[in-house]
Amino acid sequence: MNIEKAELQKTIENKLKLLEALEKSLGIVTSACKIANLSRGNHYVWMKTDKEYRARVKEIENVAIDFVETHLHKQIAKGNPLSTIFYLKCKGKKRGYIEQNNIEIRGNMKFTADFGKSDTIHTTFESGEDTLLDQ
């Protein structure tokens, strides 16, 4: 019984140690595990099995996002255009700040789009005639 109690206590200590390291590393798991001298596997097992641990990790993730957002706002205040564009693409979607490709297709045709290797759409009209549409 004492062995089980000791193992449980050690696990609790390791969880706390890793949570502290996650705070220091702004939620970066690899860095935190190095600081705490624990394996990433421990973290992921605890994320799956320990509701309280998982909740604490989520809190740390939110703090990290808040930290980054604060710095983003500082960059915007300094007039950094890339930061402004990034912010508007993420937060201004409802106002139309989105990247989009408009493709208008008219008539009866079957098509397959594969953008993995090129920006070319191969179409086949009902007549069986192949056509290329370059974007």
Residue 71 has pLDDT above 90, yes or no: yes
Q: What is the DSSP letter of 95?
A: G
> Around Cβ 60, how many Cβ atoms within 10 Å?
19
Closest among 103, 105, 109, 106 to 130, alpha carbons compared: 109
Please write the tens of the pLDDT for every residue from 83-98.
999 999 888 888 888 8
Q: Look at 118 and 112; give whichever has higher pLDDT.
A: 112
DSSP-assigned letter for residue 94: G
What are the residue ranges spanned by the domains of the chain? 7-92, 108-135
The answer to whether 36 touches 18, Cβ cutoff 8 Å, is yes
pLDDT recorded at residue 17:
97
What digits encode the pLDDT tens for the residues 20-66? 999 999 999 999 999 999 999 999 999 999 999 999 999 999 999 99
Residue 34: the pLDDT is 97
pLDDT higher for 126 or 61?
61
